[in-house]
Amino acid sequence: MESFSPELINVPKNGIELKMVLNKNKEELKCPICHNLIWNYTDCSQCGNLFCNYCINESISKVKDSCPVCKVTPFKSSGSKALKKLFVNIKLKCPNQPCDEEIEYSEYITHLEKCKFRKYRCNNNGCDYVNNLQNKKELEEHSKTCQHKKIKCKYCDKEIKQIDFKKHENSECQGLIKCPFCGMAMQRRIFMSNHADSNSNNIKCLKTKVDHYIKECNKYKDELAKLQASSKNEIDNIKKDFETKLDDLKENNKKLMKENEKLNDDILNWDKSFQKLHKKVLLNTKRRRSKDNK
């Protein structure tokens, strides 16, 4: 299991900020390089100036091993232990708010490690996540999913931050991978970009290309089946509607036929009445003529 070791913040490396010093003579013990209170002092045996051990090591590595003040080469320290007395009476404030303890110079690190308000930062380079002692478990949980945590690429064995891993896989990884479909060996980014990517218009893997076309054909087949089912439903609905209208027409036709039969009967009755009336008229006419002739 991967060990968890969060970094304690506010531990001095290149001096302590002067605002944390409670003594009035703090300017006398200021590092000429970082301009903070000297931490882990080192002196120059030639000019006697004091420097933070970290600051002078950084300086002589850049300026050919010479003292940044007197320019003597090579830089040498006297290693005098008597200089320790200069820092004995230095009092410091705790940088962890709201702690208000006054700390002796020699006890500064010990206090920071035990301070009940101490804070930890994620130990992944580039991450600025910080949490306090009470939430150390939360910091541990963060460390597991931190985007700045480095993970090893299984194709090229290079360690990459999680935040940059997708870019590495898609465009930077030089590791080789075998295509699981056709067995061809190639760089993973080529495999990911177009060799076997069914969303690409330039598929190079024949097996994937065939599978892609089969998948497309099946998709069109499914769409056609849906259209056929939809058309059948529409035809069934039209047929049902037609049959309903036809039944209505048949019913109306029966009603009209009954009405027509009644009309025919009425016409026949009217014709009979008319014939009777006509005969009467003719008979009366003959009678009048007979009378007139007499």
103, 175: one domain: no
pLDDT of residue 193: 59
Q: For residue 215, count CB atoms less than 10 angstroms from its CB and return exposed for 0-12, middle for 13-18, buried for 19 or more.
A: exposed
Does residue 222 lie in a domain region? no
Asked whether residue 38 falls in the same domain as residue 98, the answer is: yes
Write down which residue in 168, 195, 222 finishes a domain. 195
Q: Which of 6, 13, 72, 19 is nearest to 43 (CA)?
A: 72
**DSSP sequence for 119-158:** EEE--STT---EEEGGGHHHHHHHHHH-TT-EEE-TTT--
**What's residue 209's pLDDT?**
65
Residue 53 lies in a domain: yes
Residues 87 and 15 in one domain: yes
Residue 91 falls within a domain, yes or no? yes
* Residue 82: predicted pLDDT: 86
Same-domain check for residues 160 and 78: no
Decide: helix, strand or coil at residue 190.
Answer: helix
Residues 38, 83: one domain? yes
Q: How many Cβ atoms are within 10 Å of 293's Cβ, its own excluded?
A: 6
Res 5: pLDDT? 59
Do residues 115 and 163 share a domain? no
Asked if 12 and 90 sit in the same domain, the reply is: yes
Pairing of strands 50-52, 41-43: antiparallel
Distance CA 19, CA 31 (A): 14
Same-domain check for residues 91 and 188:
no
In this structure, are residues 179 and 195 in contact, taking their beta carbons and an 8 Å threshold? yes
Q: How many domains does the chain contain in total? A: 2
Q: What are the two backbone dihedrals, phi and then psi, of residue 144, each rounded to the nearest 5 degrees?
A: -70, -30
pLDDT score at 1: 36
Tell me the H-state helices in the chain.
53-62, 108-114, 136-145, 162-167, 188-190, 206-293
Question: What residue type is 129 in one-letter code?
Answer: Y
The domain of 154 spans: 150-195
CA distance 168 to 12: 35
Note whether residue 92 is domain-resident.
yes
pLDDT of residue 2: 47
φ and ψ at residue 253, rounded to 5 degrees: -65, -40
Give the per-residue pLDDT at 203: 60
Query: What is the reported pLDDT for 227?
Result: 85
23 within some domain: yes
Domain-terminating residue out of 166, 195, 224: 195
- Domain for residue 160, yes or no? yes
Q: What is the pLDDT along the chain (294 residues), one digit of tens a residue?
A: 345 556 677 788 889 999 999 998 888 899 999 999 999 999 999 999 999 999 999 999 887 788 999 998 889 998 888 888 889 899 999 988 888 999 999 999 999 888 888 887 787 888 878 877 666 677 778 877 888 888 888 778 888 888 888 888 777 777 776 766 676 777 666 665 566 565 555 566 666 667 767 888 888 888 888 888 888 888 888 888 888 888 888 888 888 888 888 888 888 888 888 888 888 888 888 778 777 776
Q: Are residues 81 and 154 in the same domain?
A: no
258: left (phi over 0), alpha (psi -120 to 50) or beta: alpha
Q: What CATH code is carried by the domain that includes residue 112? A: 3.30.40.10
32: in domain: yes
Q: pLDDT, tens digit, for every residue of 60-82? A: 988 778 899 999 888 999 888 88
Largest CA distance in the chain: 188
Helix (H, G, I), strand (E, B) or coil at 38: coil
> What residues pair up with 21 in beta bridges, in sequence order?
92
* Same domain, residue pair 113 and 157: no
Q: What are the phi and psi torsion angles at 100 (to 5°)?
A: -120, 20
Pick the last residue of a domain from 132, 164, 195.
195
CB 37 within 8 A of CB 30: yes
Please, what sign has the CA dihedral across residues 49, 51, 55, 58? positive
- Whether 178 and 99 share a structural domain: no
Is residue 64 in a domain?
yes
Those residues whose C-beta lies under 8 Å from the C-beta of residue 69, and which sit 6 or more positions away, are 32, 44, 47, 49
Instruction: Tell me phi and psi for residue 55, to 5 degrees.
Output: -65, -45
Q: For position 228, what pLDDT does the model report?
A: 84
Omega before 68 cis (within 30°)? no
Structure tokens at 280: 């009467």
Percentage of the chain modeled with pLDDT above 70: 85
